[in-house]
Structure 1
């Protein structure tokens, strides 16, 4: 059964009503934010998701404001959000929580689009109906030269990567077109260049784009 690989998700800032911005009353600790997120899920009937939910501050995040990992039931937040006040922390928390809630509600366990109608509905239920998919916070974007280039055997699209792919990943566009968005081994990416030869023809890749530009389906087992 394919699993949803949650990638880095960021959002565009906008103000939220003070009535829902209660983070400052409790502090910014991961534990406080986790409790708040669990309370929101309980209020929406997602008790099972709430029980397994974890929230962390992750200093490894660079240009992304946050990340949602449905498989791990984990929300990771960029510590630099603290520099921008409680409203940004609150909105980021709800933005990432909407990703988990949207996938949780998909009873067939099919892969859903990261910012599709299911996510939009979850945003409305979480009080951020006007949420955008990308943020405009001044987070510096790190760039890296690609070291590996993969190609889809079907559409021939190429995917530069900074790190070697360790899982069975496939071209999302082809999986959507021919297999309803589910992982299909026919479209599994093939390594075609690595090392210095991979750099030729490609500019440096932004750290956030390394993941988000290569949205893929994947199997549960790791591959070497």
Structure 2
């Protein structure tokens, strides 16, 4: 085998090896990127929701825990609309009673006849660390977790009063089944990189072959 051919084969082997590494790293990162994108979608939805809150009415609702309060129905309707428009599994709000050290649900965007619906005033005995951290100002976005209801990507948003103090946490979930579209997006990018790499390898081989002929 001539030195020129050895160089060509060496270049091809190195290029293919690099392509395999890139593909492997891409597969490893694809899921995390998809989760990040899904988490961002949930966060954007929560931001829209919080911007439309009437803090005075919301704080009154939290204190009275009265489902007959007109704002309760209004709030649920808005969250249900956002949940549908942005294809989320659920949007809900939690409030921590600091005096009694307990969390309870304020609103839930699921239908009231849904067995998983969380009623106003219902206690949450196992608030996640993500909820606790968000209340402390350490907002969590894109949390991948599994519950008895399934596997979700969740994000959390602070609900602040007029003085800027966080008094509740708004959370949103997206089912991992709906993360597939983001996973496909990362796959398309990966396939594009692979295609360009293969074209470059082919171009190198073609140019090297012409050089040898000349």
Specify if TM > 0.5. no
Choose 1 or 2 for highest CA Rg: 2
Q: Relative to total residues, which structure has the larger helix share, 1 or 2?
A: 2
The TM-score normalised by the length of structure 2 is 0.30
